[in-house]
Amino acid sequence: MKPIEIKPLKPASSEAKANEGKLTRFESLKLKYPVLTNPDTSILPYLLLAFELILNIAIVYKVPYTEIDWQAYMQQIELYLGGELNYLNLKGDTGPLVYPAGFVYIYSILYKLSNFGKNIKIGQYCFIGFYLIHQLLTFSIYKKLKLPPYLLIFLCLSKRQHSIFTLRLFNDPLAIIFVLLAIHQLFANSYTLATILYSIGISIKMNCLLFLPGYLFILFNDLGAYKLIGHIGLLAAAQIIIGFPFLNSYPSEYLSKAFEFTRQFDYEWTVNWKMLSPPTFLNSSFHKLLLMYHLVFLLGFLVTRWTEPINGGIIQFAINGFNAANQKLTNFEKFKVLSICNFIGIVFSRSLHFQFYSWYYFSIPFLLKETGLYPSISLLLWASIEYVWNTYPSTELTSVILFVAHNIILSGLFFNYYKGYKPQETRISDIKLKKQ
């Protein structure tokens, strides 16, 4: 047997010696300030939740409640509880009911808990609970993704977000809570439960449909085409079950109001398009242009970002999907796809009202981190967006600021897409195709 030759190790280069023992800037900060940078050991989430509880109680006692939609909600619910099932007749001071049946059931509970809607303080306390659940779910997502805890601080600093929950009692954040619950189930690969929870979110307010393209992409990738069809059926079946009392009595009236895609928004309340004239804002050609851009950007991310790393691109991705041959996405990728998909819908929305801020606020720190921009620029963008959403009434300037900030973020997400992934995460480009 030939003896094994052992070669001497090459001496380390002077550059390697110089770098030996050195830490990156983030690693150094992680050691110095673990409470802000180490998601595994940080107690910051618990401190922030305690702070939020105290702050929200103080808001209820110190900040006067301003009536916007609560009384109208209660008037609509009173008619429903009185036996009215025709959506065209479920009206309040602000007009007819325009939300699906899930909204009706949740606010029926709030109606009874708050003494027929008269004890608003009880309603506010309920929404403090909802707010804490929302924050807990979001904090948990960030922790599971190993994101630095200092990002959670920005989730607690929004004056508008506190107002939407505790002072306005809107249904928008309640719908998002169910989206967050669905995301947790996606992380656990519990796809059936995720689809049911997601459908419940849609039944509270249909803005949750903005997540749908990304959600379907995840199901197609992870489960394949045939199981995806089953989940689409489950999504629809959940809507039928939730809306059954109304669908069984006045189906066309229910569908036309609860899912009114052609509803016109008032120019007075728009946050994102005040730089336009009212006629342009209401013009159907403008709406079609926004829809076109929405679809183009979704397709752009699908073709060049979500499926491009696969050998053969989107065509091979589709073939794999019909053979259930794609490797499952990581939790990081799932959240990134859903957050970007929702954000694209918001950027090209026909109108954004103040309560719509809750549609994507939970994802803003994450999205900013994924742009790859300098921290100072990301901080400026966050502050600019927060300024816009807290300026009432909206102006031409605030709408321009929001438009610019949104598009900078969207550009950063597109051009920094692969660099944004954490090194320890399995990437889409690591997908291994099964042998045919």
pLDDT, residue 25, reads 62
pLDDT, residue 420, reads 52
Cis before 96 (ω within 30) = no
Cα–Cα nearest to 208, from 24, 75, 342, 19: 342
Average pLDDT over residues 225-233: 98
Between vectors from CA 376 to CA 375 and to CA 382, what angle results, nearest 5°? 85
What is the 8-class DSSP label of residue 264? P
Tokens of 99: 């939300």
DSSP, collapsed to helix, strand or coil, labels residue 212 as helix
Query: Which range (26-40, 164-178, 321-335, 352-366) has the least confidence?
Result: 26-40
pLDDT, residue 30, reads 65
Query: pLDDT at residue 83 above 50?
Result: yes
Greater pLDDT, 212 or 4: 212
Average pLDDT over residues 344-361: 98
Query: pLDDT at residue 321 above 90?
Result: yes
pLDDT, residue 415, reads 95
Confidence of residue 18 (pLDDT cuts 50, 70, 90): very low
pLDDT, residue 33, reads 79
Confidence of residue 434 (pLDDT cuts 50, 70, 90): very low
Confidence of residue 426 (pLDDT cuts 50, 70, 90): very low
Give the model confidence (pLDDT) of 129-139 as tens digits: 999 999 999 99
Average pLDDT over residues 201-213: 98
Q: How many residues does the chain have?
A: 436
Cα–Cα nearest to 171, from 66, 70, 82: 70
Give the model confidence (pLDDT) of 233-291 as tens digits: 999 999 999 999 999 999 999 999 999 998 889 999 999 999 999 999 999 999 999 99
Give the model confidence (pLDDT) of 209-219 as tens digits: 999 999 999 99
Confidence of residue 414 (pLDDT cuts 50, 70, 90): very high
Report whether 31 contacts 23 (CB < 8 A). yes
Q: Report CA Rg, the chain.
A: 24
For residue 312, CA distances in Å to 101, 308, 315 come to 44, 8, 6
Query: Which range (68-77, 140-149, 313-322, 376-385) has the least confidence?
Result: 313-322
pLDDT, residue 29, reads 62
- Residues 225, 131: Cα–Cα separation, whole Å: 36
Residue-by-residue DSSP string for 328-394: PPPHHHHHHHHHHHHHHHHHT-S---GGGGGGTGGGHHHHHHHTT--HHHHHHHHHHHHHHHT-SS-
Report whether 137 contacts 144 (CB < 8 A). no
Tokens of 111: 């109606």
Greater pLDDT, 10 or 359: 359
Question: What kind and span of H or E run contains 193?
Answer: helix 191-204
Average pLDDT over residues 300-319: 89
Q: Look up tokens 């960030």; give the residue.
A: 142
DSSP, collapsed to helix, strand or coil, labels residue 96 as strand
59-78: buried (b, 16+ CB within 10 Å) or exposed (e) per residue? bbeeeebeeebbebbbbbbb
Give the model confidence (pLDDT) of 92-131 as tens digits: 998 899 999 999 999 999 999 999 999 999 999 999 999 9
Confidence of residue 311 (pLDDT cuts 50, 70, 90): low
173-187: buried (b, 16+ CB within 10 Å) or exposed (e) per residue? bbbbbbbbbbbbbbb
Give the model confidence (pLDDT) of 369-388 as tens digits: 999 999 999 999 999 999 99
Average pLDDT over residues 60-79: 96
* Entry pTM: 0.90
- % pLDDT > 90, the chain: 84
Q: Where are the domains of the chain?
A: 40-422
Greater pLDDT, 426 or 118: 118
